[in-house]
Structures are given as C-alpha cells and as structure tokens.
Chains A and B, each alone.
Chain A
C-alpha cells in the first residue's frame, strides 16, 4: 500500500512536469503543423534564466520564476519572428521546420554551454522539507510542482476555451483558411501559440531542474518524453497530451520502482510502439494515417 502511494505521488509529480512540457508541443503542432525540435531548449532557457535571476542577481523566488517563464516565451517569440514566420508558406514546411528548429536547438544549447559551462548547478528555485502520510514521504517540492503545473495548464485551458483569443487559436487549428476568411489574423495567432508554448516549456524546465540539476543538455530528456507523449496521444491533441503525460508519468514511476529507473523509459517506449501498431494516429488522434 505504501509502495503504491509512493509510486502514485512520484508518478503524478513526473506526469505533471511531462504534461507541462508536452501540451505546448502539442499546441504548436495542432495549430500550425510545426514540430518544434527547439522545445527542449526552451525548457533549458527557462531553467537557466530563473537560476540567473535568483542566484546571480539575487531576486526573490517568485520574481525569478516569473522571469524564467517569461524568458522562454520571449525566445519562442523571437524564433517565430526571425525564422518560422518566413517558412510558413512552404510546401515542405513540416520537414524543413524540424531541420531549422534543430539548428536553433543546437545553437542555444551551445550558447548556454559557453555562458554557464557544463557544471551542473543546483536550481535555487525550490522548497525544502517534506511531510508524511503514514509511511509515505512527500516532499513539499512535489506538491509545489503539481500545483504549479495545474495552475499553468488550467490557465492555458481557460485561455483556449473561454476567451476570444483562444477561439481564434482553435479556429486556426481546425481550418487555417476558413479562419483567415473569418478575419482571424493567423500570423498573429501563430506568434501567440509559440509564445504560450515557450512559457509552458520554460516553466516545465524550471520544475524539472528543481528536482535534478541545471545542465546545458537538460532539455533533451524531457523533450524526448514530450515527443513520445505527443505521438501516443495523437499529434496535435492538447487534452490528449495532458492526460497521456500523467498516465505515462505514473507508469514510468511504477516501472522504475519495480524494475529499476533504467527501464522506465524503454518499457514506456515499447508500449508506445505497441499502441501505435493498433492505433497509428495515436490514442486521441483524429486524422487518419494513410496506410498504403
């Protein structure tokens, strides 16, 4: 019983970080068909920005977190304005954008490495201490992570479903041309979407680094999990990505507990491939995949 509770807590912590990391990726794919290889670097940037704000500039924690989140959004917006904007109308957008964003990823990863070095810093943005329920130890940090993820994802869900701004995004995702004809400025919508994705990724990066540590390559691991989550949920399904993230987080925690942390991801990936054999468009995917 204790073991199960522990697994659930660890899994929910993992899952909420994964969810935060993958809903942005799903949102950009769903709206503009863009697979962002630089999404992991947004996480790294967010983590390092809040580290810099807290440790180097000595700002209070809430300000540091806000600064980190903002930094991710700004870098995302810059990437859109300088690179993505010019490629949107290409025929092979889906593939070339992956190449371009891979370039952005390696560029920023290298710049961060040059600026901060490879030393794994400790993320100052965290809460110490823990409490117990029965024999299960729960760190305050876990609660903070789940709360922050819930607040941010909730805010995004509210934006998407309850505001005119969200309506424009959903309309663009459904049918870009129809949205344009109804007066939606799709160019602006794309910018907003990348901005949202950047902020969410940065927040995920801050949370992830609070459990592990800061390193220039820290974005790769969560990025690949976000990939897998989006694929199994069905590319572009935002709600699906959130739910799948939490399910996979709990599953990974369980596998890690019983078989060792090394096998958490491989088993997860194996299951994902199994799922795709029976449902090639993912669990929540709407588009049919051409099988021929």
Chain B
C-alpha cells in the first residue's frame, strides 16, 4: 500500500498529463495541429464525462450530445442576440445544461437501463428535429432571418474569447489554454467523482443493486446526481466548443458524433479512469488517417467499435492492465 489514496494518486497523474498537454505548443506551432489538439481536448472532456456516467454510474444515457449542444447554443444565442462575451455565457451554458439534465433525469432515470438509453436518445432526436425545422424568424438582420434556436443553420460568427485582438496571429494559443482549462476542470471532477464517495456508491450499486438498496442507498438519487454533474461539465465543454469555433448548430446532434465519442470510450476502456483520454487521442488519429484515405471515417469508426466490443471489451486500458499489471495496480481483477 502506498501512502497516497487513489484520489491523490490520480490527481498527481492529472497534473502530469496537463503539464504535457500545456507543453505541446512549445513543439507544435502549426495552427492546423494546434486546432486538432483543441478538438481532441474538447472530445476527450465529453468522453471522460460520458464514461463517468456510462462506465461508473451505470446510467446508459445517449443524451450527452444534447447537454453539449445546450452549452454551445447558450453561448451562440447569447452572443448573437445580446452580444454577450463567451466568458460570461460559458458558465451560464453549463448551468443551463445541468438544469435541463435534472429535469430529464427526474423523468427518465427511475426506469431500467434500456428504457433510459432509448428515452434519452428519443429526446435528443426530438430537440434536434424541432430546432432544425424551425423557420419562424426571431430577429432579422440585413435580410438574414435567424430563428430563436438558429433553425437549420445554427449560429455562427458571434463574439469570440477576445484573443484575436489580444494575441493577433497567435490567437489560437489563447483558445488552446482556455480549452485546456476546461479539460482540466472536467478531468478533475471526473477523478473526484470516480475515486471519491460518489464512486464508492456507484461501485456498491454496481456490485449488488439489491444489497446497496437494502443498506439505504437510493439508486435513482445517485444516478440523478451523476447525470447532473456530468451534464454540467459536458455543457461547459460544449460552451467552450462554441466559443472556439464560433459555431453552434444542429449538426452537433448528428448520430455520427455520438458514435464517434462512444468509440473513444470503448477504445479507451469503459470503467477505467484514464482510458477515454487515450481513446480520444487514438480516435482523433484514426479519423485523421481516414480523411487522408478518402472520407471513410464513419465506416472506420463503425468497424473499430465492433472490433473493440468483440475482441477488447475493456479497451486499451483493460489490455494494458493485463499486459503491464504494475501500471495500474489499483484495478480489481474483474468487475
């Protein structure tokens, strides 16, 4: 046994990982690659949060992109309609996502696993189709009609984080570190949840739902707590996505995005702490390669997903635990 708890150990690893990512711009200066790393950090944050929900809390939510989109849309709408800086609207977006998740959680999470998956999926679909079929103009500027929720085009071109003025040509570095900050918050939250008391509750509910209930643990309550926490950070990530790309639109809801992030979690390893980060990096590389092979990324994502579920159900993290037992001595042999 070491002197440090799981929680402290993982926070140390977190500091290391963040330091490495923070040092990357010293070696990588092309804007394209920096942009790719920003995208990686955004998806990694979403994947990490989803993994907390899916792998640890056991809530099979397919609605994560909705909370991401809520964060993004909040930034977009406040930027376009009221000219509010993303610095202010980003936290608002996270809170709105958390509130929405609370309402959805109350309605859905009482139900069984499969019901939760299907209902969250249906709710996302409903919201996205309502948004993209909306044609009623909310404001009209220079002959350009913008519906309340952006319609099929969404919002774009609203105010950014202000680094374009401040850093001129190197503006992307400013965004880079803002996104890194969000990733840091999101990772820290996930570690505290997984290795803290909440994680303990999830583990006991996963080991024996009946026994945990007999000891007075309210499964629905813990699920809703997990749902709201992860929605908050997913919403924050969506908000920073909108602030970076200056875009929020219905394309966020596409099925391929959902499967892409699911792929990151599965490839990295469901139920692990650090798997989704590696999974996100691997999937980003894979998609880059697929682009150069000719636009086959969705087929490739599908194949990777099937292969990993079939052959490596615990993902890279599980495989590496098997190979190098000393790397992650804390993991139990079987869940």
Q: Which residue of A lies closest to B216 (CB)?
A: A292
Bound CA span A281–B111, Å: 8
Give, as a whole number of angstroms, the nearest-CB distance from B49 to chain A: 17
Give, as a whole number of angstroms, the nearest-CB distance from A158 to chain B: 28
For window 107-140 of chain A, which residues contact chain B by CB distance below 8 Å?
Answer: 107-111, 113-114
Bound CA span A280–B209, Å: 18
B15 contacts chain A at the CB level, 8 A cutoff? no
Binds B, one of A54-62, A90-98, A171-179, A249-257: A90-98
For window 208-223 of chain A, which residues contact chain B by CB distance below 8 Å?
Answer: 217, 220-221
Give, as a whole number of angstroms, the nearest-CB distance from B224 to chain A: 13
B8 contacts chain A at the CB level, 8 A cutoff? no
- Interface bits A267-280 vs B (CB < 8 Å: 1, else 0): 00100110011001
Give, as a whole number of angstroms, the nearest-CB distance from B44 to chain A: 19
A231→B309 contact, CB < 8 A? no
B219 contacts chain A at the CB level, 8 A cutoff? yes
Counting residue pairs across A and B whose Cβ atoms lie within 8 Å, the total is: 137
Binds A, one of B92-100, B113-121, B140-148: B113-121
A224→B121 contact, CB < 8 A? yes
- Interface bits A178-198 vs B (CB < 8 Å: 1, else 0): 000000000000000000000
Known: A96-B309, A269-B126. Is A262-B133 also a contact (CB below 8 A)?
yes
A98→B117 contact, CB < 8 A? yes
B111→A280 contact, CB < 8 A? yes
Q: Which residue of B lies closest to A236 (CB)?
A: B114
- Interface bits B104-146 vs A (CB < 8 Å: 1, else 0): 0001101111110111011101100110011000000000000
Give, as a whole number of angstroms, the nearest-CB distance from A282 to chain B: 8
Most interface-central of B54, B119, B309, B310 (chain A CB within 10 A): B309
B13 contacts chain A at the CB level, 8 A cutoff? no
Chain B contact residues, majority secondary structure: helix
Give, as a whole number of angstroms, the nearest-CB distance from A186 to chain B: 20
B122→A87 contact, CB < 8 A? no
A235 contacts chain B at the CB level, 8 A cutoff? yes
B296 contacts chain A at the CB level, 8 A cutoff? yes
Q: Residues of B within 8 Å of A, CB-based: how many?
A: 48
A290→B60 contact, CB < 8 A? no
Q: Which residue of A lies closest to B135 (CB)?
A: A262
Q: Contacting B255 at CB < 8 Å: which of A114, A220, A230, A280?
A: A220
Give, as a whole number of angstroms, the nearest-CB distance from A83 to chain B: 6
Chain B residues with CB under 8 Å of A83's CB are 306, 310
B122→A102 contact, CB < 8 A? no
B298→A109 contact, CB < 8 A? yes
Chain A contact residues, majority secondary structure: helix
B306→A35 contact, CB < 8 A? no
A100 contacts chain B at the CB level, 8 A cutoff? yes
Give, as a whole number of angstroms, the nearest-CB distance from B278 to chain A: 18
B301→A106 contact, CB < 8 A? yes
B130→A105 contact, CB < 8 A? no
Chain B residues with CB under 8 Å of A99's CB are 262, 266, 305, 309
Give, as a whole number of angstroms, the nearest-CB distance from A292 to chain B: 4
A103→B113 contact, CB < 8 A? no
A94→B114 contact, CB < 8 A? yes
Known: A94-B113, A103-B301, A106-B256. Is A292-B122 also a contact (CB below 8 A)?
no
B114→A276 contact, CB < 8 A? no
Chain B residues with CB under 8 Å of A102's CB are 258-259, 262, 305
A277→B107 contact, CB < 8 A? yes
Q: Which residue of B lies closest to A235 (CB)?
A: B114
Bound CA span A94–B309, Å: 12
- Interface bits B204-238 vs A (CB < 8 Å: 1, else 0): 00000110010001111000000000000000000
Give, as a whole number of angstroms, the nearest-CB distance from A291 to chain B: 6
Bound CA span A106–B217, Å: 38
Give, as a whole number of angstroms, the nearest-CB distance from B228 to chain A: 18
Chain B residues with CB under 8 Å of A35's CB are 114, 117-118
Chain A residues with CB under 8 Å of B122's CB are 224, 227-228, 231, 269, 272
- Interface bits B293-326 vs A (CB < 8 Å: 1, else 0): 0001011011111100110010000000000000
Give, as a whole number of angstroms, the nearest-CB distance from B187 to chain A: 23
20 residue pairs A–B, Cβ–Cβ below 8 Å: A83-B306, A87-B309, A94-B113, A94-B114, A98-B117, A99-B309, A103-B263, A103-B304, A106-B256, A106-B298, A106-B301, A109-B298, A110-B302, A114-B296, A224-B121, A231-B115, A273-B107, A280-B111, A280-B115, A290-B209
In the A-B complex, list the 5 residue pairs whose CB atoms are closest, starting with the nearest. A107-B302, A103-B305, A110-B298, A292-B213, A106-B302
